[in-house]
Structure 1
């Protein structure tokens, strides 16, 4: 039976490459994106490669969109096997320096609406469908910027990079990962957080060393874990990261 996956923010960057890699494993992939033109363009591109993908409108900060997606999946597929929570925004003015004293509260609210609250609401809404899967997988695309340990380590490359809104949202996402994995520990669902690394995206900039294709590898590997795979972890390229 064909597995069903939903990737949020699948119209470009890491999300697009994640959707592509999953579809190449003969998985039916739903391309969640809030921009209809970009979402349909991604669908067209991947279908031209003979991949089974379908665009669905999904702004994770919109409860109506979340309800529509849940109903669509339930009515058309009955269950969901893989959820990749990839959609995210970076609204801090810069990666550089520490903006904790000046970051606008509205920037925090807008960042959390998508990077955290929307992700939690979507996941909670889809959990009943994921529980119907024989091997449900939830992957939260996080960032090393959400790691307390990394920000406390003066030798770590991210020590001088402290954009508060983005970093705090990813820290919250990491805790969501831990708590959800704990809540589902007696089920066949595995919940893990992936750091894609510093990737050439609209968030990571063109100066980043990794391509979106390389950045997608960690999330894809966690989505394809077998029954002996871990849950409640935070990793990049197979290596554990400190919380």
Structure 2
């Protein structure tokens, strides 16, 4: 199995790459600088590295990256700096999702490529009737207006829901929504729900990056887990003691 991972130098992305390599999968990554990765990962025989900005690549180059892949996982996100939040590319996640899906269509795979998008519990799945309090709706509207990365995350998931949908010949997708992200030294028990079970704004839970990496890795590796969650936006929480 060959998996293309975007955002591999990020806090969750590098954990995902390690998780997949430990399970003897072939991993391709596109990174601005490979120096941001640990040397032991770079030396792994099953890792292929392309140094580039994804959105600067031509359509043909992205199609070449997608060719031969069984799955694509996007852990892309904006740096939480002024430049990362308010300067171009303001639609990093959405544009990357669109171009990767278009590349998958160009490849015309025999079976659909699995696409996993790392998203956020603050984004509602508008395919479902997920209840939001009036106060939460107001806060989310403000965040959507004032924090461009949130609007980008919403648009990326909406692209998968509305443009790719449930019957695409080239792509099957899942958008994983962790709650409040934390670091942890190892994976711990976690639970996955079709929709949030608590308010992402006023009663946020915790989700370790290690658990997110484990779940996303299992999604692309394990057929039964994929069958359970494809075409959905599962929310993942750490199991509380």
TM-score (norm 1): 0.69
Query: Do the aligned residues in 2 keep the contact of 1:199 with 1:212 (CA within 8 Å)?
Result: yes
User: Which among 216, 219, 222 is matched to residue 219 of structure 1?
Assistant: 216
SS in 2 for 1:195: strand
Measure how far apart 1:186 and its partner are: 5.7
Matched ranges for 1:170-181 at <5 A: 170-181=153-164
For 1:111, which of 68, 90, 101 is the aligned residue? Answer: 90
**Closer, same or farther in 2 for the Cα pair 1:188/1:19, shift >3 Å?**
same
Q: Give the CA deviation at 1:173.
A: 1.0
Instruction: Report the CA distance between 1:26 and its aligned residue.
Output: 2.0
Give the CA deviation at 1:57: 1.9
- Paired residue secondary structure (2:97): helix
RMSD over aligned Cα atoms: 3.6
| 1:196 partnered with 2:194 | no
SS in 2 for 1:61: helix
- 1:60-97, CA deviations, whole angstroms, 9 ceiling, x for partnerless residues? 22133x643433554xxxx210101211114575xxxx
TM-score using structure 2 length: 0.69
Instruction: Tell me how far 1:46 sits from its aligned partner.
Output: 2.3
2:197 matched residue in structure 1: none
State the partner residue of 1:122: 100
Change (3 A) 1:164 1:92: farther
Q: Which moved more, 1:15-24 or 1:208-217?
A: 208-217
Residue equivalent to 2:195: none
Question: Which residue is equivalent to 1:46?
Answer: 41
- Does the 8 Å CA contact 1:145/1:151 hold for their aligned counterparts? no
Q: Does 1:142 align with 2:142?
A: no
- The C-alpha deviation readout for 1:92-114, integer Å capped at 9, x for no partner, is 75xxxxxxxxxx9x9275321x1
- 79-88 or 162-171, which moves further after superposition? 162-171
Confirm or deny that 1:80 pairs with 2:69.
yes
Q: Structure 1 stretch 164-173 or stretch 134-143: which is displaced more?
A: 134-143
Give CA-to-partner distance per residue, 1:205-228, whole Å, 9 cap, x none.
xxx954421232332233235273
SS of 1:125 mapped into structure 2: helix
Name the SS for the 1:5 alignment partner. Answer: strand
